[in-house]
Amino acid sequence: MYRDNSKIINKLTTKIFIVVFLLCGIGLVAIYSASSNSEVPFFQRAVGRQIIWMVLGLLIVFIMYVIKKEFIFNVSYWLYGAGLILVILPYLFPSSGGAHRWLTMGGFSYQPSEIMKILLVLAIAKYFTTTEFSHSEFKVLVIPLILTIIPTLIVLNQPDLGTAMIYVLTLFPIMIWAKVDLVNIFILVSPIISILTAFNFYTFFIWLIIIIGVLYLKKIKHWHFILIIIINLALGTVSPYLWNNLRPYQQQRIITLFDVKSDPQGAGYQVIQSQVAIGSGGAFGKGFCQGKQTHLKFLPEQKTDFIFSVIGEEWGFVGVSFVLLLYFLLIYLSIKAAYRVREQFNSLVIIGLTGILFFHTVINIAMTVGLMPVTGLPLPFLSYGGSFLTSCFIIIALIFNMNRELEEFDL
Amino acid sequence: MTFFPYQISKNIKNITLSIVAIVFLTLLYRFYQIQIKQHNKYSGIAEDNRVRMVSLEAPRGIIYDRSGNILVDNKFQYNVFIIPFEIDSVNKYYRRLGEIIGVSEQTIKKRVQNNWRGRFKPALVAKGVEFSVLSKIEEHKLELPGVIYKLDPYRSYPSPVNLTHVLGYLREIDSKSLKKLKKYGYSYGDLVGWEGVERQYESILRGEQGYQYVQVNARGRVQGELESKENVQPKPGNDLYLTIDLGLQDTCEKSLSGQKGAIVVMNPDNGEILAAVSKPDYSPRIFSGIIDKTVWDSLRYDPERPLYNRISSATYPPASTFKLMASMGALKNNIVDPSWTVNCPGSYKLGRRTFKCWREFGHGKVDMVKSIEQSCDVYYYTLIRKMDLDLWANVVRKFGFGQATNIDLSGENIGNIPDKKYLNKVYGENGWTEGYKLNIVIGQGEVLVTPIQMVKYISAFATDGKLVHPHVGLKYFDNEKFRTFTTEEDSIEAFSPPTWELMNHALHEVVNDPAGTANLANARSVEVYGKTGTAQNPHGENHAWFVGYAEDGESKIALAIILENGGSGGHDAAPVAGKIFNYYVDNFWSHNQQIGQK
């Protein structure tokens, strides 16, 4: 019924490609500046290595662009399974600094939880596409929830809070675009909010009223209604009691589970230096390679997690606005692509992958200005590092691939 | 696969786009704030300045005795640090700093290496420096960028007692412990409780380090505190109260001074340890500053082993204090009754071997009470011949021997209670003879117990069979209220009330009958019960035991005393008990006070 215009690269793809191309260029400039005072040969410097990774990335885009969508759809669950094995694999090797995040082979290390982000999106998208339940029923969420929770728990244990956050957050745009009833998403997150609000009687009381109000307005079946209230009430009453009865060291153990920055003082220092660098950049910045904080190496992790601070210092508010605009365009165009495609699987994959890019971008940039804690999530296309850059190119390649349909619906 | 046309509603698309736009606008606004509105503030900081992070050490919890007397406190001293990141030419710098502090360049280098916590973090180079050194540092500030000093807490011991082995001490964390504790926020250079309650209650006593950021100019002058939400105030550790009574502890330490051994005094009703001494000990004050290596080595290699906790880690043969075990086993299994008598001529013949009684000329006719009162060996040689060794071992185990008491001090030894299985294992199926039993029944040979097990044992008599959990942790103060520790309690059900009554009668006679072995343990105006023991020691002088309890109406205290190479139980250990009981009577019961209240 529909023509597959796989030969034709549609306009959205072209636009996204240009945005990505610009971001990569800006990344190289910033990395160059951050590593400019080193005297090693060009291709052994960070910027040289990053260029090599980018060329490899482009290759990945071209290869993945021509893979048949049907094939990707068919192997989605298998890929998810393989991804789980990959994520567990680091546990078979001795830990590095107490963490099981990396697979190291001959001087090259890779973080398998990175690719798992993408495989998780594929699996959940396939489930929503093929499930027979109506998407307005709550039980449609059970399998996606399990698919998400398994890798999340493994990654939390590694420990890598940032990646775990991405897994969980990515579920939300997919659920919404799979037409899951908002009230079901509300029910899904209500127990978590109950636990969090339960430590103050009034907040918990207000929250309970909100739950009852929403359930009543949405005309939830009686026994469902009662069950949900009971679950929330039980969690709310039991959890502060349980918490207070834990020994201090047990409480500490739980806190550290969600607080993976093993080095809180170091993290605080980074945020302050980052803000000083960005703030001193002013409206127009200090200019290329002129960042004092950058070049005196006051700014830590400046090539990787805090690359945006380098941009803030050297290119000022103008530069920051331009880069933010590019990221907004990237997300905006991707959402348009997700809206445009007429196959549910394609649409859900695009929105899920867009979610990954969006959350990474926002959490990273917010971190550099102290709006979010330091979780070690890099910035797509800008941060130095092959593992994550490759993932970003795979994401873009998949978005292009899924967008490769239906010329006549192009907007 | 079956694809069908899929159309997401325009609403969902628009809502998604709006959320994205709002998030991006928020970010943009934040950058506007920092880069445009607060630009002057930040460019001021950035000009020549750097931000420096200073950690604020949290004082550890204070340790009190049961009535609130301070045992371990915190004092403050000036420590000097350097921030590696702010130093350019290392060698010249270390030499200069070494000259000022009064140590060699190498020492400084080594301390920086040992205390390295990261480029931006201060590394400790000198503890407890004098004011004159600080003023010299201030003078030479320009040559020494990145040197900072601040007031940090350290442990002080204001009380007159040592209480060495109960309190334990702090040491810098080693890499093995760091691996385990890293997830609780420990890092190199942190002090951690190494022995005693400092170790046992580490998680309660330890505070949370805070940190603040200061602005430093190019000349190394602090320009002021940086206002930032990243500043964190240190949180002091929780205060800990021990069951120890300061005055009683002092009395016990003094009465054991110059000797080797241990004293444990406990409330037999609830397992609260009122005093615990292990001698020789050392003053915990030596751990206050940077501990001198020669002092530490002299402690470690001292042949008298002052670091050794004799309260719960050392084992000794219990000797005659164990004679009650065979009596109770015999009564329970109706092997003999209390009126059964043995004639003691001073020795007992088994085959070709002769087993001597401690009293060369014998005790004459001896019944059960008299056998305990006068500690007749021949009575028990005769009795154990009628008993199975495992039956005896089972009775002994009922009192908690051969198992941990789970006292809240690390390194507890469980001792050894030989039974048939044990002897078969050590000597082979036929490798041991009936003669071994004769040695075991009088608490010699392979029978090994700790002083803490002994005080639990004698407490069971004071309470007719209650098995308490000995502990030194009473309560701690957290979140504005006291929290207590859970203790397990058990009881021995196997023996009838008349059995307990008879045994206590015998224990009373030991102290009160003129013929008893422990008359010297008696105290004014209270009822004292007890049993002596003299453990043969193939390596030297005998060890002297006294275990017993004193009773005044409802109140009781129990104690166990061991004097290593101290002579005989009745002659040497019993008078120490008498002194302790008398102190207790004078200071508590004569004022109608309950145990440990003051």
Tens digits of residue pLDDT in B156-213:
899 999 999 999 988 878 778 877 887 777 876 678 888 899 999 998 999 888 877 7
Opening angle at CA A161, ends B182 and A142, nearest 5: 130
The answer to whether B56 touches B235, Cβ cutoff 8 Å, is no
pLDDT the model gives residue A199: 77
Higher pLDDT residue, B537 or B596?
Answer: B537
Hey, which residues 353-382 in chain A have their CB within 8 Å of chain B?
358, 362, 365-366, 369-371
pLDDT tens digit at each of 411 positions of chain A: 344 544 456 788 889 999 999 999 999 998 888 776 556 666 667 888 889 889 999 998 889 888 888 899 999 999 999 999 999 988 887 766 666 777 777 667 788 888 999 999 999 999 999 887 776 777 888 899 999 999 999 988 877 788 888 999 999 999 999 888 888 888 888 888 888 888 778 888 888 888 888 888 887 778 888 888 888 888 888 888 887 777 666 666 566 555 544 454 556 677 777 888 888 888 888 777 776 666 555 566 677 888 999 899 889 999 999 999 999 999 999 999 999 888 889 999 999 999 999 999 999 999 888 888 777 889 999 998 888 999 999 999 999 988 886 544 443
SS3 B324: helix
> Is the pLDDT reported for residue B597 higher than 90?
no
Tell me which H or E stretch contains B154: strand B147-156
> Is the pLDDT reported for residue B148 higher than 90?
no
Residue B335 CB neighbours (<10 A):
17
**Contact status of B55 with chain A (Cβ, < 8 Å):** yes
pLDDT the model gives residue A299: 62
Hey, which residues 454-513 in chain B have their CB within 8 Å of chain A?
478
**Contact status of A19 with chain B (Cβ, < 8 Å):** no
Residue B8 domain-assigned? no
Rounded Cα distance, A85 and A83, in Å: 5
Nearest to A151 by CA among A86, A77, A76: A86
Counting one residue from chain A and one from chain B, the pairs whose CB atoms sit within 8 A come to 160
Structure confidence by residue, pLDDT tens digits, B68-114: 999 999 888 888 888 877 776 677 788 888 888 888 888 888 888 77
Phi/psi of residue B304, nearest 5 degrees = -80, -5
pLDDT the model gives residue A341: 86
**Are residue B432 and residue B504 in the same domain, yes or no?**
yes
CATH number, residue B505: 3.40.710.10
**Are residue B331 and residue B183 in the same domain, yes or no?**
no
Nearest to B522 by CA among B555, B549, B561: B549
The answer to whether B518 touches B572, Cβ cutoff 8 Å, is no
Rounded Cα distance, A223 and A234, in Å: 16
**Are residue B363 and residue B397 in the same domain, yes or no?**
yes
CATH number, residue B195: 3.90.1310.10
Structure confidence by residue, pLDDT tens digits, B303-339: 888 888 999 999 999 999 999 999 999 999 999 999 9
Higher pLDDT residue, B317 or B226?
Answer: B317
**Are residue B231 and residue B262 in the same domain, yes or no?**
no
> Is the pLDDT reported for residue B54 higher than 60?
yes
The answer to whether A79 touches A394, Cβ cutoff 8 Å, is no
**Are residue B199 and residue B334 in the same domain, yes or no?**
no
Question: Which stretches within B56-195 are classed as H helix?
Answer: 90-101, 105-114, 131-139, 164-167, 175-181
For residue B203, give how far its alpha carbon lies from the nearest alpha carbon of chain A (Å). 6
CB contact under 8 A, B8 and A339: yes
Instruction: Find the closest chain B residue to A345 by CA distance.
Output: B3
CB contact under 8 A, B36 and A317: yes
Residue B14 domain-assigned? no
Residue B85 domain-assigned? yes
Pick from A76-80, B122-126, B424-428 the range whose average pLDDT is largest: A76-80
Higher pLDDT residue, B380 or B151?
Answer: B380
**Contact status of A319 with chain B (Cβ, < 8 Å):** no
**Contact status of A118 with chain B (Cβ, < 8 Å):** no
**Are residue B514 and residue B435 in the same domain, yes or no?**
yes
**Contact status of A344 with chain B (Cβ, < 8 Å):** yes
CB contact under 8 A, B3 and A177: no
Residue B314 domain-assigned? yes
pLDDT the model gives residue B391: 92
Domain of B532 in residue numbering reads as 246-297+308-591
Strands B63-64 and B239-242: parallel
Rounded Cα distance, B193 and B198, in Å: 4
Using pLDDT thresholds of 50, 70 and 90, give the confidence band for residue B262. very high
Using pLDDT thresholds of 50, 70 and 90, give the confidence band for residue B522. confident
Residue keyed to tokens 């008359």: B519
- Mean residue pLDDT of chain B comes to 86
All structural domains of chain A with their residue ranges: 11-409
CB contact under 8 A, A176 and B31: no
Residue B23 domain-assigned? no
Structure confidence by residue, pLDDT tens digits, B272-293: 999 999 988 888 888 765 566 6
**Are residue B345 and residue B365 in the same domain, yes or no?**
yes
Structure confidence by residue, pLDDT tens digits, B387-421: 999 999 999 999 999 999 999 998 899 999 999 99
Nearest to B339 by CA among B357, B351, B354, B327: B327
Instruction: Find the closest chain A residue to B179 by CA distance.
Output: A98
Residue keyed to tokens 């050194």: B133
Nearest to B437 by CA among B384, B396, B509: B384
The answer to whether B129 touches B149, Cβ cutoff 8 Å, is yes
The answer to whether B407 touches B470, Cβ cutoff 8 Å, is yes
Domain count, chain B: 2
**Are residue B207 and residue B276 in the same domain, yes or no?**
no
Residue B557 domain-assigned? yes
**Contact status of A274 with chain B (Cβ, < 8 Å):** no
**Contact status of A320 with chain B (Cβ, < 8 Å):** yes
Cis peptide leading into residue A159 (ω within 30°): yes
**Contact status of B199 with chain A (Cβ, < 8 Å):** no
pLDDT the model gives residue B560: 96
For residue A345, give how far its alpha carbon lies from the nearest alpha carbon of chain B (Å). 8
**Are residue B235 and residue B272 in the same domain, yes or no?**
no
Of A73, A298, A369, which has the smallest distance from its Cβ to B31's Cβ?
A: A369
Residues 6+ apart with CB under 8 A from B511: B518, B519, B521, B522, B528, B529, B530, B548, B574
Residue B510 domain-assigned? yes
DSSP secondary structure code for residue B471 in this structure? B
**Are residue B182 and residue B281 in the same domain, yes or no?**
no
> Is the pLDDT reported for residue B253 higher than 60?
yes
Taking the CA atoms of B287, B291, B295 and B298 in sequence, report the sign of the dihedral they define: positive
> Is the pLDDT reported for residue B345 higher than 80?
yes
pLDDT the model gives residue B24: 96
Query: What dihedral do alpha carbons B354, B355, B360, B364 form, nearest 10°?
Result: -100
* B121 neighbourhood in chain A, CB within 8 Å: 265-266
> Is the pLDDT reported for residue B257 higher than 60?
yes
Residues 6+ apart with CB under 8 A from A302: A34, A294, A309, A310
Strands B466-467 and B490-491: antiparallel
* A247 neighbourhood in chain B, CB within 8 Å: 203
Residue A1 buriedness (CB in 10 A; 0-12 / 13-18 / 19+): exposed
**Are residue B452 and residue B396 in the same domain, yes or no?**
yes
pLDDT the model gives residue B457: 95
Phi/psi of residue B440, nearest 5 degrees = -65, -40
CB contact under 8 A, B34 and A328: no
pLDDT the model gives residue B1: 43
pLDDT the model gives residue A96: 66
**Are residue B205 and residue B278 in the same domain, yes or no?**
no
The answer to whether B544 touches B518, Cβ cutoff 8 Å, is no
Of A73, A269, A275, which has the smallest distance from its Cβ to B53's Cβ?
A: A269
